[in-house]
Amino acid sequence: MLHISVPTGRRLVWYLAMEEYLAKHVVEQTFVTWVVSPTVIFGRHQVMEAEVNMAYCQTNGVAMYRRKSGGGCVYADEGNLMMSLISPNKHSEQVFQSFLDSVSGVLRDVGFAAVKSEHNDIMVEGCKVSGNACYALPTGTIVHGTLLVNVDFDALQHAITPSVEKLAKHGVKSVRQRVANLTQYAAFDSIQTIERFDAHLINALCARTRTLTREEIAAIDEIEKDYLNPQFIAGK
């Protein structure tokens, strides 16, 4: 698998635009990782006002965006390793499950008791450490995931407001109850930093690395404009 090194410090939706661009142009399975400043990203069909504490986010500088794939609402910050898998394979569910198996396997290799859940999360000792979503394009498949390494859970709990019914479905009383950082487990002692785990993950999954060209970055900048459209963010 190919690893692509991407610019740092971009908006979360720039990286989603990158996924779209690569899905239309890559000829082999490609893996990308990235980190963003505090952001809430919610699913294509979700009602923003029902999932996001908009007042908290606006007051505390947490960006709010909508993605084009399904799945739930996700909070990301500098302690969250974001992952993208872009594949020319159109068998989306096969690609998705293979990705989950691969990431779970890397976590187990360094000592975490990681397993997939029926909701396409990755769990360690009953707590969610990774949430993932998938969507299909005519040219292939995009999978994006989150890996909770050292996320600010206080900010997460304030920024995301799932319904009581949704929490009950998972058998928990709060967002905080069902998630955990990798730093909470003894296995993380062998990794020590998010940067080291990122490098380990890339080395485990990928055979080689290249960087985006200036032309590719310019094309991604154009796609990002779709995500920044206020009507799209509002779900209209």
Please write the tens of the pLDDT for every residue from 72-124. Answer: 788 999 999 999 999 999 999 999 999 999 999 999 999 999 999 988 999 99
Domain that holds residue 29: 2-216
Residue 224 forms part of a structural domain? no
The residue with greater pLDDT, 234 or 77, is: 77
CB atoms within 10 A of CB 125: 12
Residue 203 has pLDDT above 60, yes or no: yes
Residue 199 forms part of a structural domain? yes
The tens digit of pLDDT for each residue in 142-192 reads 998 989 999 999 999 999 986 444 444 444 434 555 889 999 999 998 888
Residue 222 forms part of a structural domain? no
Domain count, the chain: 1
Q: Which residue has the tokens 């600010």?
A: 152
Beta strands in the chain (DSSP E): 2-5, 30-34, 39-42, 63-66, 74-76, 80-87, 114-116, 122-124, 127-137, 140-148, 208-211
Looking at every residue in the chain, the average pLDDT score rounds to: 90
> What pLDDT is recorded for position 177?
54
Residue 56 forms part of a structural domain? yes
Contact 181, 150 (CB under 8 A): yes
> What pLDDT is recorded for position 175?
52
The Cα 32–Cα 47 span in angstroms is: 28
The Cα 123–Cα 120 span in angstroms is: 9
Residue 221 forms part of a structural domain? no
CATH code at position 189: 3.30.930.10
Nearest alpha-carbon partner for 142 in 233, 224, 6, 23:
23
Residue 187 forms part of a structural domain? yes
Residue 140 forms part of a structural domain? yes
Q: Which residue has the tokens 């979503």?
A: 133
> For 210, phi and psi rounded to 5 degrees?
-140, 165
The residue with greater pLDDT, 68 or 208, is: 208
Residue 225 forms part of a structural domain? no
Nearest alpha-carbon partner for 55 in 163, 175, 159, 151:
159
